[in-house]
Chains A and B, each alone.
Chain A
Amino acid sequence: MTDNEAREVVGDYKAGWHDPENSTIRFDAGLSEQVVRDISELKNEPEWMTEMRVKAFKHFDERPMPTWGNMSMLEEIDFESICYYLRSSKATENDWEDVPEDIRNTFDRLGIPDAEQKWLSGVTAQYESEAVYHSIREDLEKQGVIFLDMDSGLREHEELVKKWFCSVVPYSDNKFSALNTAVWSGGSFIYVPKGVHVELPVQAYFRINAKNMGQFERTLIIADEGSSIHYVEGCTAPTYSTDSLHSAVVELVALPGAHIRYSTVQNWSANVYNLVTKRGIAHEKAKIEWVDGNIGSKLTMKYPSVILKGEGSHAEVISVAYSGSGQHQDAGAKIHHLASNTTSKILSKSISKDGGRGSYRGQVTVSPKAENCKLNVVCDALILDENSRSDTYPTMEVANPTARCEHEASVSKVSDNQLFYLMSRGHSEEEALALIVNGFFEPFTRELPMEYAVELNKLMALEMEGSIG
């Protein structure tokens, strides 16, 4: 299949164009200890980081593929055909005018500079391996908020990074967290000082442009006592006939009383493997929320998790997944109640269509010492046709009898009567389906900033087009 044919097959993926590749540095495909060392050297990193990368690489190399999930799709990943580092721009700019024109055009088309002016506190835009643009509002900078791409974070705040890097997700957590730690590049580093509330969201946008590309961004957010921040990320890639790999690690630290909300709208093209580890630690009375939307990609494996370490802390994971033709969204949530009076809520919604497959994989644990915990899990699946599939794998391990657990699961289909009702109000069959689907996702979209919610609804309406046989 050529790339043009690939684009035809996937149809209306709106972010599927690609720019000519103007790489200033492109590593040869394939992975070895030398590649890992080269990345570190190129970035002029401190010794400890180089060593951490190398250890992580060795772990990755030895560790077998997961023996669960979509093993056959995982086996198709050809680690030797992937490019592990590609830089298209010489520097990270803080003025869009200085970003190379074709890259700037891409972000223009994605609407990033526009959104930045209207409703964001800061923006980082990553293209392939490096951030090409970065900026934060002056008033936040004055209050001591640090918002940098991860590489600059390491250069300018080495002690903070050294303290927290890999503290939430050790490189040995899983094969892909090891891979990310070995070859990471880009991502965000955020520190919010005590008591500072960042009112408007900060936005990161990740774009893969090149073929057979691997993007391995690394994000670390530390919210100090009583502070709050809302981080939003979006991602897209061109449609190619060969696969790309996106494997990120995100670590959140919410110190006592802090509040971190992390929202994602993942819309990778259908040739991208999206294997991501996201985890946060919530200290006393802190709150961590993952709002996670997975619309694109070929295979996503992602289970945002929260460790409720401090008493009275709270976790929420609200996620939606849409699986269309050839897609498998294997998503879910993990929450560990380690302290007393901690509460958690998981809401997972998945839609499968045209043979797509959605899986919910959830794990909630309550440790023996954690008294009076409350947990609530709801997972709903909507299946749009006979060929599509939905599975749920929920586990709850409750080792303290005072815990209050609620669990609900449902699988539903769109009924002819529901469609007929909406069509009798003048909506075409496709529009009616989009109304039902967007309604199903509403508990998720209502948690997003308005602009994102609108975009997501449009996206789903597009997915419903041409779906009526």
Chain B
Amino acid sequence: MTNNNYNPLLIYQANKHLFKRGDVHERLGINMSNDSELLKIQDLYACIDDTSILKGINLEIKPGEIHAIMGRNGSGKTTTANIIMGHPDYEVESGTVELNGKDLLEMETWERAREGVFLSFQYPQAVPGLQVGNFLRKSVAATLGEEAAKGKEFRNKLKESMKELDIPSSFLGRYVNDGFSGGEKKRFEILQLMLMKPKLAILDETDSGLDIDGIRTVAKGINAAIRGTESGALIITHYSRILEHVKPDKIHVLISGKIVKTGGPDLALELEEKGYDWLEGKSES
């Protein structure tokens, strides 16, 4: 029976520590990205205008995993998301951010997007005059290639996704986030997520400002885009509600630019009950 279960990859994974990074993988023809971290953040320190905001973030997400970051307003959640995506306002003082072993900090924002990083914005920006349909087609072409944005397949996927998110087809003629309600903006972010099929989706407060139905719809979109794929997601929120619909594998608590606690899905309920005060001053060792 044990023989039937022989799987070199599992054996390798169990004994990973025995191999030196890099050279063995190559010799065995094993692609690092398949079993190692999708996202790996190490000792990340960052500041804005000389105010230090992130003070040593460590985070690892494996393919197929969904993690959540929870924390009060101002704890550095958006900063973390923006730094992964490459916002020009922040300065990384030290640390690394890697996607499938590739250094993201070296790349321009659009290169990160083409590499498979997607950010659902807390405050999506309006671009008056840029039609939603046109923007979606151009963005899919930019990230997944011209072919992916052409033809029937794309149109069907678009139709299907819009239906799933309760977005009417008239939406395609509107201008990007221009005059959108809060809920429309969030659903539009998820529509982009579903079409752009990123490797890593970061969702910054996608649930805030949505009612129960809205949260359910958006969660459906996230699950459809991530679950059952090799992609991963990082859900940033300060409510536990969305996490009831998108069960995270891990939850991290961010306080003053540091992850002070990591736990399973139950941690969300605990935080709901007790708030964040009991974690103040704590630090994950």
A424 touches B109 (CB 8 A): yes
The reply to whether B192 and A435 contact each other, CB–CB distance below 8 Å, is no
The answer to whether B130 and A423 touch across the interface, beta carbons within 8 angstroms, is no
Indicate if the CB atoms of A423 and B110 lie closer than 8 Å: yes
- Which residues of chain A are within 8 angstroms of B183 by Cβ–Cβ distance? none
CB under 8 Å from chain B, chain A span 419-441: 420-429, 431-432, 435-436, 438-441
Q: Does A442 contact B (CB under 8 A)?
A: yes
Q: By the criterion CB–CB under 8 Å, are B139 and A440 in contact? A: no
Asked if B113 lies at the interface with its beta carbon under 8 angstroms from chain A, I say yes
Q: Which of B86, B123, B129, B196 contacts A443 (CB 8 A)?
A: B129
Q: Tell me the smallest distance from the CB of B130 to a CB of chain A, in Å.
A: 4
CB contact list, A432-467 vs B, under 8 A: 432, 435-436, 438-443
Contacts of A420 in B (CB 8 A): 85, 87-88, 109, 125
A439 — which chain B residues lie within 8 A by C-beta?
127-130, 175-176
B113 touching A423, Cβ below 8 Å: yes
| Complex contact B113–A418 (CB within 8 A) | no
Q: A426 and B139 in contact (CB under 8 A), knowing A420-B87, A421-B124?
A: yes
B142:A425 contact, CB within 8 angstroms: yes
**A440 B128 Cβ-Cβ under 8 A:** yes
From A422, A426, A431, B127 is in contact (CB under 8 Å) with: A422
- Is A75 close to B, CB under 8 A? no
B119 touches A426 (CB 8 A): no
With A418-B127, A421-B124, A423-B108 already in contact, the answer to whether A435 and B88 are too (CB < 8 A) is no
Q: Tell me how many residue pairs across A and B have CB atoms closer than 8 Å.
A: 82
B91 to chain A, nearest CB (A): 14
A24 CB within 8 Å of chain B? no
Contact residues of B between 105 and 119, Cβ < 8 Å to A: 108-110, 112-114, 117-119
Q: Is residue B239 within 8 Å, beta carbon to beta carbon, of the partner chain?
A: no
Chain B at the A interface: SS class: mixed
> Taking the nearest CB of chain B, how far is it from the CB of A160, in angstroms?
41
Contact A421 B129 (CB under 8 A): no
Q: Which residues of the partner chain B approach A425 to less than 8 Å between Cβ atoms?
A: 113, 135, 138-139, 142-143, 192, 196
Residue of A nearest to B82 (CB): A420
**Interface membership of B89, Cβ < 8 A:** yes
Asked if A416 CB lies within 8 Å of chain B CBs, one says yes
Report if B121 contacts A (CB, 8 A): yes
CB closest residue in chain A, given B175: A439
Enumerate chain A residues within 8 angstroms of B135, measured Cβ to Cβ: 425, 435
Q: Chain A interface secondary structure, helix, strand, loop or mixed?
A: helix
User: Inside 8 A of B110's CB, which chain A residues have their CB?
Assistant: 423-424, 426-429, 431-432
C-alpha gap A418/B135 in the complex (Å):
14
Decide if A72 is an interface residue (CB 8 Å cutoff).
no
> In the bound complex, do residue B113 and residue A441 qualify as a contact, i.e. CB atoms below 8 Å apart?
no
Instruction: Give the distance to chain A from B92, nearest Cβ to Cβ, in Å.
Output: 16
Determine if B113 and A426 form an interchain contact, defined as CB atoms under 8 angstroms apart.
yes
Determine the distance from Cα of A442 to Cα of B174 in the docked complex, in whole angstroms: 12
Q: Which residue of B lies closest to A420 (CB)?
A: B87
A436 partner, pick from B88, B108, B127, B142, beta carbons under 8 A: B127
Q: How far is the CA of A195 from the CA of B147 in the complex (A)?
A: 48
When chains A and B are docked, how far (Å) is the Cα of A432 from the Cα of B114?
14
Complex partner residue of A423 from B89, B109, B138, CB under 8 angstroms: B109
User: Taking CB as reference atom, which chain A residue is nearest B118?
Assistant: A424
Q: Which residues of A contact B86 (CB under 8 A)?
A: 423
A435 touches B113 (CB 8 A): no
Nearest CB in chain A: distance from B79 CB, A:
13
Residues of chain B with a CB closer than 8 A to A422's CB: 125, 127
Asked, given contacts A426-B139, A427-B110, A427-B138, whether A416 binds B127 with beta carbons under 8 Å apart, the answer is no
Q: What's the nearest-Cβ distance from chain A to residue B204, in Å? A: 11
Q: CA of A424 to CA of B130 in the docked complex: distance in angstroms?
A: 16
The complex places the Cα of A440 from the Cα of B126 at a distance, in Å, of: 11
Query: Is there a chain B Cβ closer than 8 Å to A34's Cβ?
Result: no
**Chain B proximity of A419: nearest CB distance (Å):** 9
**CA gap between A418 and B86 in the complex, in Å:** 14
Closest B-chain residue to A439, C-beta based? B129
Q: Which of chain B's residues have a CB closer than 8 A to the CB of A418?
A: 125-127
Do the beta carbons of A438 and B130 come within 8 Å of each other?
yes
- In the complex formed, the residue of A with least CB distance to B176 is A439
Residue ID in chain A nearest B202 by CB atoms:
A424
Give chain B interface residues in 183-208, CB to chain A under 8 Å: 192, 196
The reply on A417 being an interface residue by CB < 8 A is yes
Q: How far is the CA of A429 from the CA of B111 in the complex (A)?
A: 11
Report A-chain residues with C-beta under 8 Å of the C-beta of B108.
423, 428-429
Whether A426 and B129, one on each chain, are in contact in the complex, defined by CB atoms closer than 8 angstroms, is: no
Known contacts A416-B88, A425-B192; A435/B127 CB under 8 A:
yes
| Bound Cα distance A417, B126 (Å) | 10
Interface string of A392-428 (1 = CB under 8 A from B): 0000000000000000000000011110111111111
Q: How far is the CA of A440 from the CA of B130 in the complex (A)?
A: 8
Chain A residue, CB-CB nearest to B139: A425
The interface centre, meaning the residue of A425, A439, A441, A443 with most chain B CB atoms within 10 A of its CB, is A425
C-alpha spacing A423/B121, complex, angstroms: 13
Chain A residue contacts of B127, Cβ below 8 A: 418, 421-422, 435-436, 439
B residues 61-93 near A (Cβ < 8 Å) are 85-89
B interface list, Cβ under 8 A from A: 85-89, 108-110, 112-114, 117-119, 121, 123-131, 135, 138-139, 142-143, 175-176, 192, 196
Q: List 13 A-B contacts (CB under 8 A).
A: A416-B89, A420-B85, A421-B121, A422-B127, A424-B117, A425-B143, A427-B138, A427-B139, A428-B108, A429-B110, A435-B138, A439-B127, A440-B128
